Structure 1
Amino acid sequence: MTSLPNLSSIVLPDLPKPGEAVCWDGLYGASKWIALAEAAQNVKKPFLLLLPDIRSVEAVSQDLSFFSPNLKLHVFPDWETLAYDRFSPYQDIVSERLHTLSTISHLTDGIIITSIQTALHRLLPKDWLIKTTFSLSCGQKIQREGFRARLSESGYISVSQVSAPGEFAVRGSLMDVFPVGAKLPLRIDLFDDEIDTLRVFDSETQRTTGEVENITILPAREFPTDQRGIMEFRRSWREHFSSGYQGSTIYQDVSEGLAPAGIEYYLPLFHEETNILADYIPPDCVVIFDESIEIAADKFRLSVDERYEALRHDTARPILATKDIFAEFKELQSSLQTLACVYLSGTSNGDSPAKFNTVVPVNVPVDARSEDPFIAIKHHLSRMNGRLLFLADSLGRREALLDLFRDQIFSPVVFAGWREFLGADERYGIAVASLENGAELIEPRLSILTESQLFGRRTEERRRRKRSRTSHESIIRNLTELNVNSPVVHEDYGVGRYLGLEVLTVGDIQNEFIKIEYRDGDKLYIPVGSLDLISRYSGSDPEHAPLHKLGTDQWEKARRKAGEKIRDVAAELLEIHAKRALRRGHSFVIDEDAYNSFVHSFPFEETVDQANAVDAVLKDMQNPQP
């Protein structure tokens, strides 16, 4: 192994001073993320990276992690809603946003990554976030009722069992809190009025995973929900909409202490003033503007203005002016001008003082129909006369490429990552990284080839969150998806009609319950925390859905009858399978070379279901049994 080569030839040695702005041009493809990763790794300062769209945030985060695995990345996520939407962002997104905001003010290194669309949102005041954040530590004395009231005022929801950030539960001397920004909930064990232990636990198994000495509790929402916050909202609402509050459900819900869906777009009404992201950034931060950032900001503002014009005539739900919710790009730029600013560019500008030894990455397509499918790669190697790193999208794709290149002069050696390849002597390497673009470095002479350069740009399938066992069509993700009088199905009680939410006091604890009406007017109250027990009614005619009777075995009979039908179908399928197993059919032989050529020439990325179907078909064709 050799020492890592000097990459100063592609990284600007001296960053601009505070108040200065420079352009880094001549950075093509992924080379700009190599340059940024090297700068952030070698200079102990925080960086703010502004990208032109929300989709790029995850992709660039992966690129930076590949080029510098130890680099601290702080992603400030978007709400992932349209302007003036009537839907609220997911609580885990709000949790991550608040955690990031509370962290970035004190950063000494690492990179804050966000999109320009997210950066233009007006935010909760920094002072309010600091004031509403508090800490707990072992040995600290707390008043149980006062602590519960403080959590409620901070936007935390009282439930029977915590499962998501922003929830708490009280059971005797135990208090469970899922702090915003935390990965796991916390169990507070009280001895009288003193904190005896603070234990982190798994919300699914309820098993303790460790103990901590102290913990920070952030507010659960980006706006206050205490009486003072509600009073400020009411005052500001009347000031902005002088004649539009008496019949507004938004105004009435907030007045009653509720947080209606889409309330985030009224955030300025809860605070006397708002901040923008620049107000949270440390004074020694280096701001990196990706190319085309101003064009992206203008397009975003245009789309916001169009949404405003389409929705501003709804007198039952008046909306704030765009300037109250979003900042102009010039305002953001002006607020950052006291910091060191760098503008990235993929074009070469002769007047720029920062020059980088990179060239435009080229496509080197593998042509399966050619006599020599790898002729483009060989020509590329002869021209560059340097080292080459192939990047596969996944471990499975890496193995396919290794098999494809096995007998070639450029057969690569497997490396764990970029740093391992730089420190090795082998000329050809391969690693796993889903980069969108490759890179061509002049000194040291090095080429990075991605799968899109080899096989053409494929449609990307994003990784999705793990799904539960229940069908995604039937599970109710959010109460806002339900309309009053919609038929729903409870796992244990059958079909009823959803009547909305109702606050009930049980054992001196106020909780929100889902109200469901069954036959003969019987009512069932389900804690909001048990939402997973309820699913949509999937019958053909929701208007005439049959309601079941509580206290009878009607639902149990229906389930038992359905189970009997399932068993009958299963027995029939087993019989068919047994007959099929006794017969012999034709077993096809797969031509691996021809099949691999076909796969590599296919211009799209298969979905998970498509890949499984292809594997099943191939297996069936090679199976001697029909």
Structure 2
Amino acid sequence: ISYPAWDCLPYDRASPTLRIMSERLAALHALQAKSASPRLLVTTGNAATQRTLTPFRIRQLVARLAPGERISLDKLGNLLASNGYVRVDTVNDAGEFAVRGGLVDLFPSGAEQAMRLDFFGDEIESVRTFDPQDQRTTGRIDGFTLLPASETLLDEDSIKRFRARYREKFGANATGDPLYQAISDGRRLAGMEHWLPLFEEKLASLFDHLPGDAVVVRDTATVGAAQQRFDAIADYQQNRVRAASTAPGSYRPLDADALYLAPQQWSTALDAAAVHSATPFHEPESATVLDFQVDGPRDFAPERASGTNIYEAVVDHLAKLRKSGKKPILASYSNGARERLTGLLGDHGLNGAVHAESWQEALGAADKGIALIVLPLDHGFAAPDVAVLTEQDMLGDRLVRRAKRRKSTDAFLNELATLTPGDLVVHVDHGIGRYEGLTQIPVQKAPHDCVQLTYAGGDKLFVPIENLEVLTRYGSGEEGASLDRLGGEAWQRRKSKMKERIREIAGELIATAARRAVRPGEVLEPDQGGYPAFVDRFPYEETDDQDRAINDVLEDLAAGRPMDRLIVGDVGFGKTEVALRAAFVAAMAGMQVALVCPTTLLARQHHRNFVERFQGFPLEIGRLSRLVPAGEAKATREGLEAGTIDIVVGTHAILSKTVDFKRLGLVIVDEEQRFGVTHKERLKALKADVHVLTLTATPIPRTLQMAMSG
């Protein structure tokens, strides 16, 4: 069971995310249930020092929804709203619900999937799970336990309690505060959780939820971490007090001990519990010291210092671990790092490496070999039956990644000038929001320029102008685009799926490049006698870029593997000359050349240029397009199949299934981005084992993607 702390600062204007609150409430509910087997609760000092709902309140707020249960749609909607759920049009995140006729979609706290309730009148007829990403049903269940989505509830009693205590605490003038007015109207407001004590009759700590016989194990660093937390809470509270004023909207902080345990209460709670201290340092076993026989990982610092091959040392160490009966597990930072580590260790004699996707799978794989798993660990450990090594244990401190280049604030300010209120923008962390314009907000009693964004549910986000690199203009059509919700998971889930797709594409590109690297291609080298004479016919002096492009193409043709080069140049800058020289080299080497153009006009121009430049050389040039007479087209097709036509210039007619080449060696594609999908598939088939040269003056993303993916 995991019990996290709020993912916001003390006395913040931001709320903890619904995901965090859902996880906290699910953990507290799990502690209320009796269990026949031992349970492990993992938490932090920050979470344990914060007050929360009482065990009675948790039990009181739980509801069971299952087929056959009777509850009206209005009553269910009110129940969800008062329990912190947010009504939306389409459910994407935990803590959201939507009502569509007789269907109610909701994403309950602590649930892994969203639920779809089908009503017949006031009776729940069925409960199905569905994927919020595509809204498709994934299965049926017998029912589920509905937990609140927030620790701050807006039922009738809680609102009355808040109103009375807020006036009592801060005076009648405070009734003009946006917080007071929003709660009075039954609306949720960002940051309202920091006034949780005003909503509840009483609060409890995590220790109040633990059974009387619970064993508490704390790390040696817990004492220092708790003290730092208390100091931070006091500091944030004092800053809020100093900045507070009587003006409406001013932040009116509660006392520190209202929402957090006081240092003395923390010490008393630890003294009252059966607390054990865990230390990484060796101590002699005694009546009060229990040795778990867990030690640190093997240190490869001596090998790194002496220049010894570290991978060979790791492979030897893994063999010793296997011989001693321990299960060896290697932990990497990412999938890419794991792949790289597998290859490096394999090159140095490691056998039996197996990739595992979970800890249980890793333990099973390590029974017979070496398990490699992705785990966010800096250092491993050695236990009686298992030994974990991380990349940092083997290779030393992680290399500092090169900082990402920050987007130019000036560039976005220029872009900002083209935006009008109501346009959509994208925040790197929060997703799609609506631009409301530049505004000033008081910070430490001084005005501060910010960009104001509005998100789903009316939430507002103010981005300081010095942090504008986190914003970009929404690039797609705004029609049908929906706003994300602050603190929601939909944006992060979309980003995660896109990252997975990018990884898949990257894997495909790497595989394609690898296949090209090992695939043999025709070695085509310039004819020492004819090529200089052909070059001399060029009536202009080559530019530096043109010269470099020609040399690169000739090197590709002579490399012994299929060329796939993209030449980008503006109109009139000499791309055709690069194609002419490549065609000459290939044709004089005995291979056929096909030049494919998107239009008949362009095909006619290229054919005329080719005929003029190749005049006097023993090469036959044909043409194919819808404007070519039927007799000439038939003769060209027959010549290509027989091998008597050396170069053919034409439109997509060259891509017809009726056209066969005897010894096609080079395909030149002009303005590739103007071809349709069907023609591109035919081009891919032609490009399987031949040299390809693509020319374009407009390198749109599709052209670049085609160049890389083949």
Fold shared per TM-score above 0.5: yes
Where do residues 428-447 of structure 1 align in structure 2 (5 Å cutoff)? Answer: 429-434=370-375, 435-441=377-383, 447=387
Task: Indicate the SS of the match to 1:246.
Answer: helix
CA 1:253–1:580 in 2, change beyond 3 Å: closer, same or farther? Answer: farther
The code of the aligned residue for 1:277 comes to L
Q: CA deviation at 1:413?
A: 4.4
Q: CA distance change for structure 1 residues 88 and 284 in 2, over 3 Å: closer, same or farther? A: same
In structure 2, do the counterparts of structure 1 residues 135 and 359 end up closer, same or farther at CA, with 3 Å as the change threshold?
Answer: closer
Q: Which has more helix, going by share of residues?
A: 2
Q: Is 1:265 paired with 2:204?
A: no
Which of 343, 351, 356 aligns to 1:403? It is 343
Q: Distance in 2 between matches of 1:330 and 1:295?
A: 14
Distance 1:499 1:122, change over 3 A: closer
C-alpha separation in 1, matches of 2:480 and 2:155: 21
CA contact (8 A) 2:426 2:432 kept: no
* Cα distance change, pair 180–421 in 1 and its aligned pair in 2 (3 A): closer
Alpha-carbon distance in structure 1 between the residues aligned to 2:578 and 2:329:
45
TM-score computed with the length of structure 2 as normaliser? 0.53
Instruction: Say whether 1:391 aligns with 2:356.
Output: no
> What is the deviation of 1:355?
2.8
1:196 aligns with 2:196: no
Q: 1:249 maps to which residue?
A: 178
1:484–1:318: structure 2 CA closer, same or farther, 3 Å change rule? farther
Q: 2:254 aligns with which of 315, 320, 326?
A: 320
Is residue 420 from structure 1 mapped to residue 420 from structure 2 by the alignment? Answer: no
Q: What are the equivalent positions in structure 2 for 1:93-104 lying under 5 Å apart?
A: 93-104=20-31
Count of aligned positions: 437
Of 279, 290, 303 in structure 1, the residue corresponding to residue 219 of structure 2 is: 290
Match of residue 84, structure 1, among 11, 16, 19: 11
Aligned match of 2:391: 451
SS in 2 for 1:86: coil
Structure 1 distance, partners of 2:134, 2:19, is: 20
- Asked if structure 2 preserves the Cα contact closer than 8 Å seen for 1:367 and 1:374, the reply is no
1:363 to 288, 292, 299: 299
- The two structures, once aligned, show a CA RMSD in angstroms of 4.4
Q: Residue 425 of structure 2 contacts residue 435 of structure 2 at CA under 8 Å; is this kept in 1?
A: no
TM-score (norm 1): 0.60
SS in 2 for 1:229: helix
CA shift digits 1:372-409 (9 cap, x unpaired): 55686599789998467351404543443343334657
Query: Per-residue CA shift, 1:485-522, capped at 9, x if unaligned?
Result: 779xxxxxxxxx989799xxxxxxxx9799xxxxxxxx
Secondary structure of the corresponding residue to residue 95 of structure 1: helix
SS at match of 2:398: coil
CA offsets per residue over residues 138-173 of structure 1, 9 Å max, x none? 122223323322222223333323222223222332
Matches within 5 A, 1:493-572: 530-532=482-484
Larger gyration radius, structure 1 or structure 2: 2
2:41 match: secondary structure: strand
| CA distance, structure 2, for counterparts of residue 476 and residue 397 of structure 1 | 28
Partner of 1:334: 268
Alpha carbons of 1:498 and 1:236: their partners in 2 closer, same or farther (altered >3 Å)? same
Gaps of 5+ in 1: 1-73, 462-469, 488-496, 503-510, 515-525, 535-569, 585-619
1:334-388 Cα deviation digits (max 9, x unpaired):
3355554321011233464313445443420464993655686599789998467
Answer whether contact 2:63 2:145 (CA < 8 A) is retained.
yes
Match of 1:11 in 2: none
AA aligned to 1:420 is G
Distance 1:577 1:285 in 2: 80
Give the alignment partner of residue 349 of structure 1, picking from 274, 278, 283. Answer: 283
1:258 to partner: Cα distance: 1.9
Determine helix, strand or coil for the equivalent of 1:83. coil
Q: What code does the residue aligned with 2:363 have? A: R
d(CA) in 2 for partners of 1:131, 1:577: 79
> By how many angstroms is 1:532 displaced?
4.8
Structure 2: give runs of 5+ residues left out of the alignment. Answer: 402-423, 441-450, 461-477, 487-566, 583-703
| Amino acid paired to 1:123 | T
Partner of 1:143: 72
CA deviation map 1:241-284 (0-9, x unaligned) = 23651342222222222222111110011011101111222334
Larger RCO (CA within 8 A; separation ≥ 6): 1
Identity over the aligned pairs, expressed in percent? 27
Please say if residues 159 and 527 of structure 1, whose CA atoms lie closer than 8 Å, have aligned partners that are also in contact.
Answer: no
Q: Deviations over 1:425-450 (max 9, x none)?
A: x6xx3422433222245x66x75432
CA distance in 1, matches of 2:215, 2:209: 13
